[in-house]
Structure 1
Amino acid sequence: MSSHLSPAVARAAHVRLSGVHLSFGGRPVLTGVDLVAAAGDRVAVVGENGRGKTTLLRVLAGDLPADRGDVHRAGSVGVADQQIPLGATDTVGALIDLELAAVRDALARLADAADALAAGRPGADDAYAAALADAEALDAWDADRRVEVSLAALNAVADRTRPLGTLSVGQRHRVRLACLLGAGHPVLLLDEPTNHLDATGLDHLTERLRAHPGVVVLVSHDRALLADVATSVLDLDPSSDGRPRVYGGGYAGYVEGRRAERARWEALHADQVAERQRLADDLSAARNRLRDNWRPDKGHGKHTRATRAPALVRAVHRRQEELAAHVVAVPPPPTRFAMPELPKHAGATLLRADGVTVAGRLARPVGLVLDSGDRLVVTGPNGAGKSTLLAVLAGGLEPATGTVTRARSARIGWLGQESDPPGPRTAVETYDARRARSGLPAPGLGELGLLDRYDLHRPVAELSVGARRRLDLALVLAERPHVLLLDEPTNHLSAALVDELTAALGSTPAAVVIATHDRQLLRDTGSWPRLAL
């Protein structure tokens, strides 16, 4: 699909951040963010939950002032955030008009200028030329048609009289996204735009973003979209110097660059810790020499001890000063995900399903057999019964027809899409209780690399959605299952953790079943057997 922006407008589009800092309630959210994006750049913003991705978009849009630093924009800005700006009684047409306000204004000014020109008013020629240039820059006459095309491609409601309150959350967001794709803004700021899109909608969004000649800044956990669209990546996760990083070369360049940055960080930290240990050892040795030399060897007099003592005291002081002056300036890097060793259960079928159905939820009879080390990906559209099948296999739901047979000694680990209601315990207390209940040796929660130090000791109810999802995964692994049943395991997880988890699932001796819509996960598990529902 060709661009609808004029070449001049597209070339002029840019955004620039320089040294942007922002805190909420004394807690730093954005720390020294630098970013330059010009026409044709599509910048993906990545990072864990709570790192300030949505906040950064608000700063770029001009909705939130930075505490310090410079923010510059050129070109009108279209924003797709998580909030719909109209109420339940407003209509689809009102939302379209709001998102096309710049287009409507340009056409109105052109009509006024045409009337002034026809009336022969002074200066009307220049006013008409300027208004015409603005309308042409946005290709304003074709904007409504472009919106209609995107409404159809995104499977969004096109009836402009429909009240927004009668639409689902997903339908409202699809209408808004269609408006933004058709409005002609040189700068697009998109926050999780793939939410609520099916395969056709994802293809349309990808095509439109790749064809956009202006600037796109995109926050998304969808690794497939990032791989298909991004020309560079801004990573807000912690780094060795505490500042965000920008990686060129698209998503693949980010993955490789982040890996190299992480290796450098770990090496620098290890070198500084080793140097501090060397200085501490030198100080300990100097103190030992000072103590031992107050007891001279046989045959030596007191004058020998008295002569050597001041030099030894000076050596101890010098080493104390060296140790005090040495600072481990590079913070410890965040731990990587460390998959615990799951057990192999050879010589027996772990799980077997024959002719399983569930009334209203899993219509087609399903059969499967799982042995240790087996892999399976369950696919299908929403409502096909993927989650239902995993619940039946785990024993959380009884089938209407068919049977499920589990090996008596086989442990089944099931990660559902929803978290259990949180209790009063902290994350580490919850994990330790699960580990104790299983009675099996398992690594501590901190050793898994799933939660940072701060979240380990927070009440579960206070954790972010992403941190809760990480804890849910840890609780499943704590029981060291022979079979892992994972329902949309990439939901709410960062791209980096998903990559680490995917690699670990490919090598574990346990049997693994994944139900997912995640396009990148489907690509990464392309060699696994498929069960299409």
Structure 2
Amino acid sequence: MTAITLPARERAQLTCAGVRVDRGGRTVLSGVEMNVSPRARWGIVGENGRGKSTLLHVLAGSLAPDEGTVHRVGTLALAEQEMPTADRRTVGDFIDEHLADARAALKRLDAAAAALAEERVGAEREYADALEAAQALEAWDADRRVDVALEGLGAVSDRARPLSTLSVGQRYRVRLACLLGAEYDFLLLDEPTNHLDLAGLEYLTARLRAHAGGVVVVSHDRALLSDAATTLLDLDPTRDGTPRVYGGGYTGYREGREAERSQWEAQYEQQQAEHLRLQQALSEAQNRLVTGWRPDKGTGKHQRATRAGALARSVHRRQEDLERHKVTAPVPPLRFSMPDLPALPGAVLLRAEEVTVAARLHEPTSLSLKSGDKLTITGPNGAGKSTLLSVLAGRLAPATGQVRRARKARVHLLGQESPEATNRRARDVYDAHLARLVTAGVLRESETVGLTALGLLTSRDANKAVAELSMGQQRRLDLACALSARPHVLLLDEPTNHLSITLVDELTDALRATGAAIVVATHDRQMQRDLAQWPHVALSPTELTRTAR
């Protein structure tokens, strides 16, 4: 008989204590403490590469920590950022896997009902147990719940459709719908908003807020964290090296984080000043001993002999005490430095005239860009946002219409997805990209900018193989390559995907200030609010409307 795993519901527990994870001789996580109860909604934040995805794997049990404990009671499911592309399963197979317990419970109930009708010995007990399991899983409603989630997320609902024929975003939405429909005790979600449009984002937010179990979400989506998270775990460096937990939702985290940083900096400065004062006092005491200093007349012989030495010993003790309670220097965060993107005043850099793409961009679309022009593109999944950017960048030929680019205009597109990760160092990938631009005459040698000068990757991470970088760090490398071309027209397709909150804020400010022409296609609700004053193109699967505001 197939074993059935029942949810724990109110008895569910997911806790970890003293978790430490080491990788490649470096500590990725240290001192992590969490207590996730039913209806708790945790957000995990931190700069790219801080171990957020690693922590989800530790909580899920797919990675054993080097130190610490994890305790799990109840069912859980993990949605990773990536999904395999070579998958022979269908959408229906995937749904069946997540609803396997519900399927087994209903099958067992049917068998028990048949045994009860035949008046077999022990049939009543079997039926009661089977009914209890089916009710605990709400098995009769399982398929309907998945169907509702598929529709709410804009996912493919054709159960016969092979997963291999779906895009990355489509596969992710199918999996997310299965997780929501299966109603696990704990949902562990890694950047769940990356492939969702506005309707999908609103649906996911509502479902997470209503989820009866616990939720742990790794996200850089500021709107999702504001609307759904009640507790935030920050994995960025702290004074004592212990991750901080903030209540009060996203607002509490931002306020608490700022206060923590200010206090850390103030304590460090105070300690440095005290060290300097003590060093001066010790130097003065030592000078007195060397120069044969004597106290004033009338002072006892013993005091005359020992007073300066006592002072030196006192200073040494204070220094030792400070050393025992040493405040580490605040770790300077990476600061994004936007390179100077050139302008070509007066010239029309790029003009699209009545362009369409069969089955992807239906309504003839026209637009014109000069230096300094700014434009946002929005719309549901499938409306043709990425298609339009690819046409503007010259990567895709339109079926009708034409695109004209100024002869000297440099146009560069940052796509949604990173290239397949290689074992080459990030620095080497970037340098090779620069070399191609210079060789092709796109850039002069004097216009190139070094990778670490952009403030997107540390020297340590720049020397790692791309495959060893986190998704966010790979995305930072993509952004660096896009900016290194010093484009006159920069096209950004979902630029906030995988990027940290701080970097997104810095990038948004830089896009507002640059003299280059900028086009941003995004579902990010906060970025849409931040860029609300830009002219706006709203796409739909069947039509396009343009509104300047």
Interval containing the TM-score (normalised by the shorter chain): 0.7 to 0.9
Name the count of aligned residue pairs: 505
- Aligned residue identity for 2:327: A
Taking the TM superposition and a 5 Å limit, the aligned residue runs for 1:102-113 are 102-113=101-112
Q: CA deviation at 1:424?
A: 6.5
Aligned to 1:329: 327
Q: Is the partner of 2:533 in helix, strand or coil? A: coil
Q: CA deviation at 1:71?
A: 2.3
State the alpha-carbon separation in 2 of the partners of residues 220 and 172 from structure 1: 19
Q: CA deviation at 1:186?
A: 2.6
Query: Residues 257, 386 of structure 1: CA spacing in aligned structure 2 closer, same or farther, 3 A cutoff?
Result: farther
The equivalent position to 1:387 in structure 2, one of 383, 386, 389, is: 389
Task: Out of 124-133 and 459-468, give the one that drifted further.
Answer: 459-468
Taking the TM superposition and a 5 Å limit, the aligned residue runs for 1:154-173 are 154-173=153-172
Q: CA deviation at 1:238?
A: 2.3
Taking the TM superposition and a 5 Å limit, the aligned residue runs for 1:177-192 are 177-192=176-191
Aligned to 2:212: 213
State the alpha-carbon separation in 2 of the partners of residues 472 and 506 from structure 1: 20
Query: Residues 290, 505 of structure 1: CA spacing in aligned structure 2 closer, same or farther, 3 A cutoff?
Result: farther
Aligned to 1:304: none
Q: Is the partner of 2:212 in helix, strand or coil? A: coil
Aligned to 2:239: 240
Q: Residue 99 of structure 1 contacts residue 180 of structure 1 at CA under 8 Å; is this kept in 2?
A: yes
Q: Return the TM-score normalized by structure 1.
A: 0.76
Q: Is the partner of 1:240 in helix, strand or coil? A: coil
Aligned to 1:302: none
State the alpha-carbon separation in 1 of the partners of residues 365 and 221 from structure 2: 32
Query: Residues 83, 50 of structure 1: CA spacing in aligned structure 2 closer, same or farther, 3 A cutoff?
Result: same
Q: Residue 22 of structure 1 contacts residue 29 of structure 1 at CA under 8 Å; is this kept in 2?
A: yes
Q: Is the partner of 2:520 in helix, strand or coil? A: strand
Q: CA deviation at 1:507?
A: 5.6
Aligned to 1:501: 507
Q: CA deviation at 1:277?
A: 3.5
Task: Out of 63-72 and 238-247, give the one that drifted further.
Answer: 63-72
The percent of aligned pairs where both chains have the same amino acid is 49
Q: CA deviation at 1:493?
A: 1.0
- Aligned residue identity for 2:181: G
Q: CA deviation at 1:35?
A: 1.2
Q: CA deviation at 1:481?
A: 8.2
Does residue 38 (structure 1) correspond to residue 37 (structure 2)? The answer is: yes
Taking the TM superposition and a 5 Å limit, the aligned residue runs for 1:87-236 are 88-120=87-119, 124-236=123-235
The equivalent position to 1:527 in structure 2, one of 525, 530, 533, is: 533
Q: Cα RMSD over matched residues? A: 4.6
Query: Residues 133, 492 of structure 1: CA spacing in aligned structure 2 closer, same or farther, 3 A cutoff?
Result: same
Query: Residues 323, 519 of structure 1: CA spacing in aligned structure 2 closer, same or farther, 3 A cutoff?
Result: same
Taking the TM superposition and a 5 Å limit, the aligned residue runs for 1:431-470 are 439=446, 449-452=455-458, 454-455=460-461, 458=464, 463-470=469-476
Aligned to 1:489: 495
Task: Out of 35-44 and 481-490, give the one that drifted further.
Answer: 481-490
Q: Is the partner of 2:534 in helix, strand or coil? A: coil
State the alpha-carbon separation in 2 of the partners of residues 324 and 403 from structure 1: 71
Aligned to 1:27: 26
- Aligned residue identity for 1:337: R
Query: Residues 197, 134 of structure 1: CA spacing in aligned structure 2 closer, same or farther, 3 A cutoff?
Result: same
Q: Is the partner of 1:172 in helix, strand or coil? A: helix
State the alpha-carbon separation in 2 of the partners of residues 325 and 149 from structure 1: 63
Q: Deviations over 1:280-329 (max 9, x none)?
A: 444455566667x38x9xxxxxxxxxx99986677667656655664343
Task: Out of 215-224 and 192-201, give the one that drifted further.
Answer: 192-201
Q: CA deviation at 1:58?
A: 2.6
State the alpha-carbon separation in 2 of the partners of residues 419 and 105 from structure 1: 40
Q: CA deviation at 1:17?
A: 1.8
Q: CA deviation at 1:243?
A: 1.9
Query: Residues 290, 25 of structure 1: CA spacing in aligned structure 2 closer, same or farther, 3 A cutoff?
Result: same
Task: Out of 271-280 and 113-122, give the one that drifted further.
Answer: 113-122
Query: Residues 412, 97 of structure 1: CA spacing in aligned structure 2 closer, same or farther, 3 A cutoff?
Result: closer
State the alpha-carbon separation in 1 of the partners of residues 122 and 423 from structure 2: 69
Q: Return the TM-score normalized by structure 2.
A: 0.74
State the alpha-carbon separation in 2 of the partners of residues 514 and 284 from structure 1: 61
Q: Deviations over 1:203-260 (max 9, x none)?
A: 3322322221221222233333333322222222222222222222222322222222
Q: Residue 386 of structure 2 contacts residue 493 of structure 2 at CA under 8 Å; is this kept in 1?
A: no
- Aligned residue identity for 2:234: D
Q: Residue 229 of structure 2 contacts residue 250 of structure 2 at CA under 8 Å; is this kept in 1?
A: yes
Q: CA deviation at 1:141?
A: 0.7
Q: Residue 389 of structure 2 contacts residue 413 of structure 2 at CA under 8 Å; is this kept in 1?
A: no
State the alpha-carbon separation in 1 of the partners of residues 85 and 111 from structure 2: 29
Aligned to 2:252: 253
Q: Is the partner of 2:195 in helix, strand or coil? A: coil
State the alpha-carbon separation in 1 of the partners of residues 113 and 67 from structure 2: 45
- Aligned residue identity for 1:520: Q
Q: CA deviation at 1:521?
A: 0.9
Q: CA deviation at 1:119?
A: 4.7
Task: Out of 397-406 and 502-511, give the one that drifted further.
Answer: 397-406
State the alpha-carbon separation in 2 of the partners of residues 84 and 480 from structure 1: 33
Task: Out of 222-231 and 383-392, give the one that drifted further.
Answer: 383-392
Q: Deviations over 1:323-374 (max 9, x none)?
A: 566434324223252546969989x5476545556674988454445566x6
State the alpha-carbon separation in 1 of the partners of residues 88 and 482 from structure 2: 44
Task: Out of 275-284 and 90-99, give the one that drifted further.
Answer: 275-284
Query: Residues 366, 260 of structure 1: CA spacing in aligned structure 2 closer, same or farther, 3 A cutoff?
Result: farther
Q: CA deviation at 1:40?
A: 1.7
Q: Residue 46 of structure 2 contacts residue 52 of structure 2 at CA under 8 Å; is this kept in 1?
A: yes
Q: Is the partner of 1:332 in helix, strand or coil? A: coil
Q: Residue 13 of structure 2 contacts residue 72 of structure 2 at CA under 8 Å; is this kept in 1?
A: yes
Q: Is the partner of 1:176 in helix, strand or coil? A: helix
Aligned to 1:269: 268
- Aligned residue identity for 1:491: N
State the alpha-carbon separation in 2 of the partners of residues 289 and 479 from structure 1: 64
Query: Residues 354, 102 of structure 1: CA spacing in aligned structure 2 closer, same or farther, 3 A cutoff?
Result: closer
Query: Residues 513, 280 of structure 1: CA spacing in aligned structure 2 closer, same or farther, 3 A cutoff?
Result: farther
Aligned to 1:75: 74
Taking the TM superposition and a 5 Å limit, the aligned residue runs for 1:350-361 are 353-354=350-351, 356=353, 360=357
Structure 1: stretches of 5+ with no match in the other structure: 1-5, 297-306
Query: Residues 84, 366 of structure 1: CA spacing in aligned structure 2 closer, same or farther, 3 A cutoff?
Result: closer
Aligned to 1:300: none
